[in-house]
A and B are shown apart, each in its own frame.
Chain A
Amino acid sequence: MITIKHLSKTFTHDDGSKLQVLRDVNCEISKGEVISIIGPSGSGKSTLLRAINMMDPPTSGEIFFDGENVLAKGYRMNKLRQRMGMVFQNFNLFEHLNVLENVTLAPMRLLGVNRKDAEAEAYSLLRKVGVADKATALPSSLSGGQKQRVAIARCMAMHPEVILFDEPTSSLDPTMVREVLSVIQQLANEGMTILLATHRLTFARNLSTRIFFMYNGTIHEDGPPEQIFEHPVHSATKAFVQSIYKLWFQIDSPDFDMPDMYSQMSQFCYKYNLNDKIDTVNRIAEIMVENVMGRYRPLTVRLTYGEKENITALDFMVEGLATTPLKSRNINVAALEDVRSMSRNIIEEPTKRGFRVKIIV
């Protein structure tokens, strides 16, 4: 269905400096495939999607859609896009139209559907994504999740042959991610051809028939989810799928902004769907920093989350320390007991430059 050959894209900034975001991308996408594009930030996931529907036309290379060269002179870009839907990170609903009009505008204007039929279909699509009761509301009155579902319905109204999702949940409140993901899952189940750029590895793994791992502007590894997540061929892929999300703090003065640290930790938990651990993480951090290890400064605090193993941990590191601070004589035993009761495990280990207490939450 889509064939991409030697695709490259270089952005030229106003000051003349250049940035190559895609280099020699090659791939073949068949009808019915559900492909997730994963990779670190800046690896070119979004740019690849935007190159495929010619939002950001590539600098060189070829794209074939149903055998036709999209980059050929005289190719009608708008006709291509009518067959290739796109869902944006920021929804981009038409602010001046209500939900129903957002969905009916394109089929009425571009496919020549009459108002009655267009509205009937719009209602059935809105019902499918669960926002039919908001049909007459303006986009500004919807929540983020509702907006994104309307955007998906708007896209579906054109009966596209393939839908490109450009990080559809990245600007959503964590509580609203699921409603959008389930709609995408439903589309995939119905056999829609999907290309999805995402940071959500678990979702990508469960949804897709195939994964593109993008690294440094190119498709570094291409294969079924089992291969990518369990037996990656390349070391970069392995490092990425096993990657652990980290949050660092260095407490080196009495003026350190503690409330800000707690708030960042809460947001971190929100982001990775660890809502149930927010309280525990904050409580442990508070007791450890202020009571148990109150004497040790500078103190490095690190919050980590490994998506693959689903492990959340809090590390407390002190430089130049040879033995564990937990065995020290003037330790606050009662506070330490509190921490123990809240955690799954506590590991004490020396590091190259000092000593670390790792608390698995």
Chain B
Amino acid sequence: MMKRLFLLLVVALCLAACGSRTPHVNKPKSEADLSGKVVGVIAGQSYDIDLTARKDLTICRHPTISECIASLETGRIDVFVADEVAVNHDVQEENGIRLAFVTEKNYPCAFALRKDKQDLETVLQFNEFLVDLRASGELDAIIDKWIKAVDYASVPMTKDTFTVSGKPIRVGTSFTMAPISFRVENQWRGMEVEILTLFAHSIGRPIEFKLYDFAALIPALQSSAIDIAAGALFITEERQKALALTNSYFECHGGYFVLDRKSQTKGSFINRFKKSFNNNILVENRWMFLARGLKVTLEITLFSLFFGTLLGAGLYLMRKSHRKWVFKIAASYSLLMRGIPMVVLLMILFYVIFTGINGLVVAVIAFSMSFASFVAPMMETAIDAVGNGQREAGLALGFTPWQTFRLIIGPQALKRALPHFKREVVSLIKNTSVVGYIAIQDLTRASDMIRSRTFEALFPLFFVTVLYFILAWLICKMLDYLFKIGTEI
């Protein structure tokens, strides 16, 4: 009881602390002014590393710019730092923030490849290509075009006339941020995309882009899941040691952004909702991200549900085996699976074990494995609860063991297990949201993509929550229906 009360108190304090924080009045005007401030950064970016060296300020790490903006609005941070080009004037206006100052330091951006012989050649090829591009003035034209653009979606990409063939160059990027690299409907666009596409075509190869979590980008490169890692990667000493980096094609500044109350627009709840809905769902057909993501989430869920149940049934049979070692394998499997976080399992399977296999297949394998470890003990409990008398009665009437299971034990066990099973299925659906780690664009990832364009932290998340809810409800209805026809005689 005391423990619970204490916990409640801690939670209440945390909430109070979050809610009541008022932003510091003095807005910083230079890097020296940051002393004593709470600074928002995007975890792992070079700004994060540079600021961590300073001991006179507090760092608050966020996954993307959207969360930084949300933190700024709620007063949790005083200022945040991000690539200056990524937060253009429109975005600032829209979100009521403004650029306070930029970093003194320049951050040159490059692409990363593996350090093997063939890749080093590609690096040389790229560097030559870059020299030509710069000499002809094309590079500056491209960069200028993107940085000055107001409506990114309508910026035309340079058309080239090269003929391409062979295996495509696979580019992984952790960055979906206009104008560096972003997607409109199904097309990749942006400064980096344009430069890389021109390069690939100039050496006669097609190109394809894939979205990765930043943490998964370098492992993906090293396990040959991609050929080039991109996404405004800054040139740092560590990266130069581990990877083959191209020459810099662009120099980035960090921008420090603060709240600008004056420009903040307020409206009625319904108007704001309408505006958010329009921005996040309708503009540029952004709902198509969601539709595709929903399809992927649904596919992973249904296939994992099916194969996981089959595998679970197999495990159940192993647990019932009279051979001790068979039982032990099944028991240790369940124990092991319950101990491994889903993300870790996914990463191991994708980057270590099944390196050449499609991510969707790997996700289905991982979720089936995990789901099976829940299904097997559930089956055991439910079937054991039916009792031996029912089995004997079935056999004594002349049913075969399979008929006895199908007609007598199965339906009774199913009825017992169904509520637990549905609960596990719902948690399976929600767990699939971590597949972003292995470059699959599911429903959650779709909302991330929209967020990275609109910088709205919450609306896309609320929207996908509703979609997840509907999905879970529908699948539970489907299970009820399957149960009904499965137990009819």
A→B interface (CB under 8 Å): 53, 55, 78-83, 85-86, 88, 90, 92-97, 101, 105-106, 108-110, 151, 154-155, 158
Q: What would 13 A/B residue contacts be, using CB atoms closer than 8 Å? A: A78-B399, A78-B400, A82-B398, A83-B398, A94-B390, A94-B412, A95-B412, A96-B415, A105-B489, A106-B397, A109-B489, A110-B399, A155-B397
Which B residues are in CB contact (< 8 Å) with A108? 489
Q: Chain B: how many interface residues by the 8 Å CB criterion?
A: 19
Which B residues are in CB contact (< 8 Å) with A155? 397
Contact B487 A93 (CB under 8 A): no
Interchain CB contact (< 8 A) of B390 among A78, A86, A95: A95
Which B residues are in CB contact (< 8 Å) with A79? 398
Question: How far does the alpha carbon of A101 sit from the alpha carbon of B403 in the complex, in Å?
Answer: 16
Inter-chain pairs besides A82-B398, A88-B396, A106-B397, 5 sampled, C-beta below 8 Å = A78-B395, A78-B399, A85-B396, A105-B407, A155-B397
Contact B489 A101 (CB under 8 A): yes
Which residues between 388 and 430 of chain B lie within 8 Å of chain A, taking CB atoms? 389-390, 392-400, 403, 407-408, 411-412, 415
Interface secondary structure of B, over-half rule? helix
Q: How far is the CB of A311 from chain B (nearest CB, A)?
A: 37
Contact A88 B393 (CB under 8 A): yes
Question: How far does the alpha carbon of A98 sit from the alpha carbon of B396 in the complex, in Å?
Answer: 19
Which A residues are in CB contact (< 8 Å) with B415? 96
Question: How far does the alpha carbon of A97 sit from the alpha carbon of B397 in the complex, in Å?
Answer: 15
Top 9 nearest A-B pairs by Cβ distance? A82-B398, A92-B393, A92-B389, A86-B396, A81-B398, A106-B397, A96-B412, A78-B400, A78-B398
B389: nearest chain-A partner, CB-CB: A92
Question: How far does the alpha carbon of A73 sit from the alpha carbon of B389 in the complex, in Å?
Answer: 26
Question: How far does the alpha carbon of A214 sit from the alpha carbon of B203 in the complex, in Å?
Answer: 94
Interchain CB contact (< 8 A) of A81 among B395, B411, B412: B395
Question: How far does the alpha carbon of A358 sit from the alpha carbon of B373 in the complex, in Å?
Answer: 67
Interchain CB contact (< 8 A) of B389 among A88, A97, A158: A88
Question: How far does the alpha carbon of A92 sit from the alpha carbon of B399 in the complex, in Å?
Answer: 15
Q: How far is the CB of B394 from chain A (nearest CB, A)?
A: 8
Contact A106 B392 (CB under 8 A): no
Given contacts A95-B412, A96-B412, contact A109 B399 (CB under 8 A): yes
B411: nearest chain-A partner, CB-CB: A96
Q: How far is the CB of B455 from chain A (nearest CB, A)?
A: 56
Which A residues are in CB contact (< 8 Å) with B487? 96
Question: How far does the alpha carbon of A70 sit from the alpha carbon of B449 in the complex, in Å?
Answer: 70
Q: How far is the CB of B301 from chain A (nearest CB, A)?
A: 29
Question: How far does the alpha carbon of A151 sit from the alpha carbon of B390 in the complex, in Å?
Answer: 12
Interchain CB contact (< 8 A) of A92 among B390, B400, B403: B390
Q: How far is the CB of A247 from chain B (nearest CB, A)?
A: 30
Which A residues are in CB contact (< 8 Å) with B398? 78-83, 106, 110, 158
Question: How far does the alpha carbon of A293 sit from the alpha carbon of B487 in the complex, in Å?
Answer: 65
A79: nearest chain-B partner, CB-CB: B398
Given contacts A94-B408, A96-B412, A105-B407, contact A158 B392 (CB under 8 A): no
Question: How far does the alpha carbon of A86 sit from the alpha carbon of B394 in the complex, in Å?
Answer: 10
A155: nearest chain-B partner, CB-CB: B397
Question: How far does the alpha carbon of A246 sit from the alpha carbon of B200 in the complex, in Å?
Answer: 99
Which A residues are in CB contact (< 8 Å) with B395? 55, 78, 81
Given contacts A101-B489, A109-B403, contact A53 B396 (CB under 8 A): yes
Given contacts A92-B390, A95-B390, contact A106 B412 (CB under 8 A): no
B397: nearest chain-A partner, CB-CB: A106
B415: nearest chain-A partner, CB-CB: A96
Per-residue interface assignment for chain B, residues 214 to 244, with 1 indicating a CB less than 8 Å from any chain A CB and 0 otherwise: 0000000000000000000000000000000
Question: How far does the alpha carbon of A154 sit from the alpha carbon of B397 in the complex, in Å?
Answer: 9
Which A residues are in CB contact (< 8 Å) with B390? 92, 94-95
Question: How far does the alpha carbon of A78 sit from the alpha carbon of B412 in the complex, in Å?
Answer: 22
Q: How far is the CB of A253 from chain B (nearest CB, A)?
A: 42
Q: How far is the CB of B305 from chain A (nearest CB, A)?
A: 24
Question: How far does the alpha carbon of A323 sit from the alpha carbon of B412 in the complex, in Å?
Answer: 66
Question: How far does the alpha carbon of A187 sit from the alpha carbon of B408 in the complex, in Å?
Answer: 27
B386: nearest chain-A partner, CB-CB: A95
Question: How far does the alpha carbon of A82 sit from the alpha carbon of B396 in the complex, in Å?
Answer: 7
Which B residues are in CB contact (< 8 Å) with A97? 489
Question: How far does the alpha carbon of A221 sit from the alpha carbon of B444 in the complex, in Å?
Answer: 78
Which A residues are in CB contact (< 8 Å) with B389? 88, 90, 92
Question: How far does the alpha carbon of A106 sit from the alpha carbon of B400 in the complex, in Å?
Answer: 11
Highest count of chain B CB atoms <10 Å: which of A82, A101, A105: A105
Which B residues are in CB contact (< 8 Å) with A109? 399, 403, 407, 489
Interchain CB contact (< 8 A) of A110 among B396, B397, B408: B397
Interchain CB contact (< 8 A) of B392 among A83, A88, A154: A88
Q: How far is the CB of A181 from chain B (nearest CB, A)?
A: 21
A110: nearest chain-B partner, CB-CB: B398
Highest count of chain B CB atoms <10 Å: which of A95, A96, A97, A110: A96
Given contacts A92-B392, A94-B390, A101-B489, contact A158 B397 (CB under 8 A): yes
Given contacts A88-B392, A101-B489, contact A106 B399 (CB under 8 A): yes
Question: How far does the alpha carbon of A41 sit from the alpha carbon of B389 in the complex, in Å?
Answer: 21
Contact B397 A82 (CB under 8 A): yes
Contact A55 B489 (CB under 8 A): no
Which B residues are in CB contact (< 8 Å) with A110? 397-399
Which B residues are in CB contact (< 8 Å) with A83? 398
A50: nearest chain-B partner, CB-CB: B392
Question: How far does the alpha carbon of A78 sit from the alpha carbon of B394 in the complex, in Å?
Answer: 10
B393: nearest chain-A partner, CB-CB: A92
Q: How far is the CB of B484 from chain A (nearest CB, A)?
A: 13
Question: How far does the alpha carbon of A4 sit from the alpha carbon of B396 in the complex, in Å?
Answer: 19
Which B residues are in CB contact (< 8 Å) with A78? 395, 398-400, 403
Per-residue interface assignment for chain B, residues 460 to 489, with 1 indicating a CB less than 8 Å from any chain A CB and 0 otherwise: 000000000000000000000000000101
Q: How far is the CB of B418 from chain A (nearest CB, A)?
A: 13
Q: How far is the CB of A139 from chain B (nearest CB, A)?
A: 11
A102: nearest chain-B partner, CB-CB: B393
A97: nearest chain-B partner, CB-CB: B489
Question: How far does the alpha carbon of A324 sit from the alpha carbon of B168 in the complex, in Å?
Answer: 113
Question: How far does the alpha carbon of A101 sit from the alpha carbon of B411 in the complex, in Å?
Answer: 14
Which B residues are in CB contact (< 8 Å) with A81? 395-398
Which B residues are in CB contact (< 8 Å) with A158? 397-398
Question: How far does the alpha carbon of A85 sit from the alpha carbon of B392 in the complex, in Å?
Answer: 12
Which B residues are in CB contact (< 8 Å) with A92? 389-390, 392-393
Q: How far is the CB of B259 from chain A (nearest CB, A)?
A: 64
Q: How far is the CB of A42 from chain B (nearest CB, A)?
A: 20
Question: How far does the alpha carbon of A27 sit from the alpha carbon of B398 in the complex, in Å?
Answer: 24
Question: How far does the alpha carbon of A151 sit from the alpha carbon of B389 in the complex, in Å?
Answer: 12
B413: nearest chain-A partner, CB-CB: A96
Question: How far does the alpha carbon of A154 sit from the alpha carbon of B489 in the complex, in Å?
Answer: 16
Which B residues are in CB contact (< 8 Å) with A90? 389
Q: How far is the CB of B324 from chain A (nearest CB, A)?
A: 11
Which residues between 247 and 271 of chain B lie within 8 Å of chain A, taking CB atoms? none
Q: How far is the CB of A71 from chain B (nearest CB, A)?
A: 17
Per-residue interface assignment for chain B, residues 376 to 394, with 1 indicating a CB less than 8 Å from any chain A CB and 0 otherwise: 0000000000000110111
Contact A55 B392 (CB under 8 A): yes
Q: How far is the CB of A109 from chain B (nearest CB, A)?
A: 7
B406: nearest chain-A partner, CB-CB: A109
Which B residues are in CB contact (< 8 Å) with A106? 397-399
A164: nearest chain-B partner, CB-CB: B396
Which B residues are in CB contact (< 8 Å) with A88? 389, 392-393, 396
Question: How far does the alpha carbon of A93 sit from the alpha carbon of B394 in the complex, in Å?
Answer: 9
Q: How far is the CB of B268 from chain A (nearest CB, A)?
A: 55
Question: How far does the alpha carbon of A87 sit from the alpha carbon of B487 in the complex, in Å?
Answer: 25
Q: How far is the CB of A82 from chain B (nearest CB, A)?
A: 3
